[in-house]
Structure 1
């Protein structure tokens, strides 16, 4: 993703930095999956945790989309392809690498990133609903929202419906260097489509954050929503702007590598914040709250004095309210 051929030292440093960020995101995604399945298995033996586990499929989709986006971003890196793929698979021809760049544009800008952003928004909106949305409805909503994006990006990259009316440098997806190294680029037309999606998404996300904050009374939850909103509403427009500016430089230029890094970090920050606030932290709180509640069984509560019953019912109602807010 970073193409700084002017200085091998800088090129290696930026490549290694990018691979490090992606590797850390993959590790975080695996950790998030462990949290999701741990809560899933734990809820089978602890009925109280079933309330917190209602949206495990949607959380799983969020993490899966982020994981797949990370893998595709790795494949964009010439450094990664040379270092880790070449020893195990035959060398790809130039046209095959160019097709890989086309596919990566469609998958990252057209499907995986919009998909995890829409899933993140769905979880945020689900946190204030009185009734937990059905998993099938959630999956249908995410996929039908992203299908127009991936179709449009695919048409622009593979079929070029505008023909020769648009200059080639506005729709190129890769550049071939003298040593047959293929550098992936971001087509300007696809960047415009992603910018339009980002603008609509930010407006929808801002409205959803306002609705959630109007109902949340817990200080800790308000801080999380403020943190999530701040990161998404800053990182996503910054990423869309950086995508548009990539057309001003050649992939061989050092400044192109810096702008590409900004593009990557925009999506990276949204992914890390989404997993941390909407997956790991809620599940961690649910397991902690469930651990305390497991010490009281239904049979034991039946033998408690009326005063103790009222106290525990009040305590459970407070925890259940937190649970509804933590589901998202």
Structure 2
């Protein structure tokens, strides 16, 4: 932790904080809406038997939204504006050293667990669409834990294991800097340590390749134009936003935490994960559930809408079916 005096409160940093807060609250509202869709389908499937098949992996969708929600909360802890505005009111004795520990927690949970977890859960839902049988909830949770455990462990070692931390130059492991505005006014700026960013970059590269292969497999099975458009939208968003986030994490090495350009690249890092989260919830949670409700509510049974000879194709989630041509979906 380094103390750095500067003459005045940087206006651009405050602007970046406010922008980030606005998008975080928008994401939280979107996540709550996604949860409403999940539980609405869950409750409705108890009374409508033809929706029970659509509801088989509701826990996996719930995990996706939950990981995104907690990632958004950890991003709030990174922002000096949020800490000064809200945390100080409930924790008036919130010391500078405690704020610095919050910065470490942010790095661990954001880059080490919650973001990798929602990306892996997104990948699980995508891979599930190519399976003949719907995976159970236990396999989903196991898949997420096994995939995320290595990166979480390495991030924790780099942040808290003294035998490793003490031998690494501060320049590569700095998570926070204390800014002194004079008259006893200080605040803590949270940053992205280079080593932790490099570990996440390794995960991101491996994930991107795995995600690209999964998208290709799904596209090879899908002939519905609307569904293909959704998969392309998901693939383009993730394959652009995630590498952009990785590049922005690397660029944080070239500026100090109190410089305006650091605020710019930090905002890009945030938007990279934000775009993946919003697109994942929209395409893998809200849209499939909306289609399932339409099939259940408007069409009731596919055979009664189109007759026994209709061509049926599996959708982005394995338990959902769509009918080619003009139909319910």
What TM-score, normalized to structure 1?
A: 0.90
Supply the distance in 1 between the matched residues of 2:61 and 2:231 (Cα, whole angstroms): 17
Equivalent position SS for 1:125: helix
Asked if 2 retains the 8 angstrom alpha-carbon contact of 1:122 and 1:138, the reply is yes
Displacement after TM superposition at 1:38 (Å): 0.2
Structure 1 residue corresponding to 2:222, chosen from 213, 216, 222: 216
Structure 2 residue corresponding to 1:242, chosen from 248, 251, 257: 248
Structure-2 change in CA distance of 1:75 and 1:294 (3 Å) = same
Deviations 1:178-202 (A, max 9, x none): 1321111111000110000000000
- CA RMSD in angstroms, aligned pairs only: 2.2
Asked if 1 retains the 8 angstrom alpha-carbon contact of 2:121 and 2:144, the reply is yes
Match of 1:198 in 2: 204
Structure-2 change in CA distance of 1:310 and 1:269 (3 Å) = closer
What TM-score, normalized to structure 2?
A: 0.89
Equivalent position SS for 2:174: coil
Is residue 91 of structure 2 the alignment partner of residue 89 of structure 1? yes
Equivalent position SS for 1:87: helix
Match of 1:52 in 2: 54
Match of 2:308 in 1: 313
Match of 1:27 in 2: 29
Is residue 122 of structure 2 the alignment partner of residue 120 of structure 1? yes
Displacement after TM superposition at 1:7 (Å): 6.0
Supply the distance in 1 between the matched residues of 2:223 and 2:188 (Cα, whole angstroms): 53
Equivalent position SS for 2:256: coil
Supply the distance in 1 between the matched residues of 2:141 and 2:171 (Cα, whole angstroms): 37
After the TM superposition, which residues 178-197 of structure 1 pair with which residues of structure 2 at under 5 Å, given as runs?
178=180, 179-197=185-203
Is residue 267 of structure 2 the alignment partner of residue 265 of structure 1? no
Match of 1:292 in 2: 298
Displacement after TM superposition at 1:5 (Å): 8.8
Supply the distance in 2 between the matched residues of 1:266 and 1:323 (Cα, whole angstroms): 23
Match of 1:101 in 2: 103
Supply the distance in 2 between the matched residues of 1:222 and 1:275 (Cα, whole angstroms): 17
Displacement after TM superposition at 1:241 (Å): 1.1
Supply the distance in 1 between the matched residues of 2:175 and 2:96 (Cα, whole angstroms): 13
Displacement after TM superposition at 1:44 (Å): 0.7
Structure-2 change in CA distance of 1:168 and 1:44 (3 Å) = same
Match of 1:150 in 2: 152
Q: Which has the higher contact order (CA 8 A, sep 6+)?
A: 1
Residue correspondences, number? 312
Displacement after TM superposition at 1:135 (Å): 0.7
Asked if 2 retains the 8 angstrom alpha-carbon contact of 1:22 and 1:74, the reply is yes
Equivalent position SS for 1:177: strand
Gap runs ≥5 in structure 1: 297-307
Match of 1:301 in 2: none
Displacement after TM superposition at 1:163 (Å): 4.5
Supply the distance in 2 between the matched residues of 1:249 and 1:74 (Cα, whole angstroms): 22
Match of 1:9 in 2: 11
Supply the distance in 2 between the matched residues of 1:37 and 1:68 (Cα, whole angstroms): 19
Asked if 1 retains the 8 angstrom alpha-carbon contact of 2:103 and 2:176, the reply is yes
Structure-2 change in CA distance of 1:106 and 1:220 (3 Å) = same
Supply the distance in 1 between the matched residues of 2:220 and 2:129 (Cα, whole angstroms): 12
Q: By percentage of residues, which structure has more strand? A: 2
Supply the distance in 2 between the matched residues of 1:62 and 1:327 (Cα, whole angstroms): 18
Supply the distance in 2 between the matched residues of 1:272 and 1:5 (Cα, whole angstroms): 38
Match of 1:40 in 2: 42
Deviations 1:99-150 (A, max 9, x none): 1111110000000000000000000000121100011111111112111111
